[in-house]
Each structure stands twice: as C-alpha cells, then as structure tokens.
Amino acid sequence: MTTATPATPQKAQYGPKPYVHPYFGGFVLGIVLFLAMFLTGNGLGSSGATSRIDAAIVDAISPSHVDNNPYLLKMAGGDKNPLDDWIVPVFFGALLGGFSSGLFNRRLKFETTKGPNISVRTRWLVAFLGGVIFLYGARLARGCTSGQALTGGTTLSAGSWLIMFSIFGGAYALAYFVRKLWN
C-alpha cells in the first residue's frame, strides 16, 4: 500500500520564466525592424532620444543658450519642440517594454552584478562613466548600437559595419584590462 504525497508546487512555477530561444528572438526582432522601416520610414535606435531629452531640459532652463548653440538649435531652437520626433516614443517604449518583460517574466529585481574584486560603489561609478562615454561616442558615430547595427547593418551601410567591428574590437581589448575586477 502506497500513500499519496500532497502535490508540491514546482519551483519553476514561482521562479523566473525561461528566456526566449535566441533564434526566435532574432527572428521577432527582424520582423519588428522591418515593420518599423516599412511603416515609419525609420529604423530602431535610442541615442537620438537622449539628445532630444537633454535639449528639452536645457531649453526649459535656458532657452537663450539653446538659441546660441548650433547643435541644440537644430532640435529645440525657437518654438521647436525637441520631444516631437519619432525616436522619443521608441526610447520610452523600449524602457516600458523592458520593464514589462521583466515584470511579467518574474525577473524584475534590483541588484548589482559585479565581481568579487570590485565594490558596489565602484561598479556603479564605472558603469555610469562607461555609459556616458558610450553615449558620447554614439552621438559622434551618428547612432547607437541599435541604430548602427540593426538599422545601418540591414541597409548595408559600410560605416555601420565599421562602427560595429570597432565596438566589438574595443570591447575585447578593454576586457583584458578589466578582467581582474570580475575574477
């Protein structure tokens, strides 16, 4: 005679859901990129949105500075609204989509991923500085990795391919010097 054991909830039921298969994810991303280009005439990217958000903040604080700065004047001079551009909703949509995905798939949590040889404060400082440098470089390159790799890559832009090889090459070169922070 055997006794029935009560059903126990599976751990997977409460833990994070598995990630989508990378080939399927790439296929869906390709469809999204195609639809973005087909429906709007624009690809994907986000670094332009951060420039426009910055221009809106500067315009709210010091409109005369915007009117005297050629870079900002293109986005916010006079009665132009710097937030009135296709890339701003794409930027906020990506933020909202990433947050929603983490929430629905039970991966949303606040944590600092770091190696044992680096403090949390240093990790945040290095991440912030890296982000600032990367965003500055994205503006110099006329697009971020999304804009360059996805949009520029699909249009076979030689400059986009060169930028992406440079980004990956630079990352591999830098990894040699910062690897001790992660081991």
pLDDT at 162 over 70: yes
Exposure b/e, 42-77, CB count within 10 A at least 16 = b: ebbbbbbbbbbeebbebbeeeeeebeebeebeebbb
Cα–Cα distance between 89 and 111 in angstroms, integer?
27
Name 153's Cβ contacts closer than 8 Å, sequence gap at least 6: 160, 161, 164
pLDDT of residue 147: 83
Tens digit of each residue's pLDDT (9 = 90 or more) over 67-99: 999 988 889 988 889 999 988 998 899 899 999
Could you report the per-residue pLDDT of 37-59, keeping only the tens digit for each? 898 888 888 888 988 999 999 99
- Is pLDDT larger for residue 120 or for residue 14? 120
Q: Report d(CA 139, CA 132) in Å as an integer.
A: 11
Inform me whether the pLDDT recorded for 23 exceeds 90: yes
Query: What is the SS3 assignment for 9?
Result: coil
**pLDDT-derived band of residue 5, with 50, 70 and 90 as boundaries?**
low
pLDDT of residue 174: 87
What's 118-175 look like in SS3? CCHHHHHHHHHHHHHHHHHHHHHCCCCHHHHHHHHHHCCCHHHHHHHHHHHHHHHHHH
Whole-prediction pTM = 0.74
Q: What is the pLDDT of residue 52?
A: 92
Q: What is the mean pLDDT of residues 109-120?
A: 88
Report, as an integer, the average pLDDT of 130-147.
84
* Residue 6 pLDDT exceeds 60: no
Confidence at residue 88, expressed as pLDDT on a 0 to 100 scale: 92
> Tell me, what's the pLDDT at 2?
54
**pLDDT of the residue at 92:** 94
Structure tokens at 79: 């009665």
Distance CA 33, CA 50 (A): 20
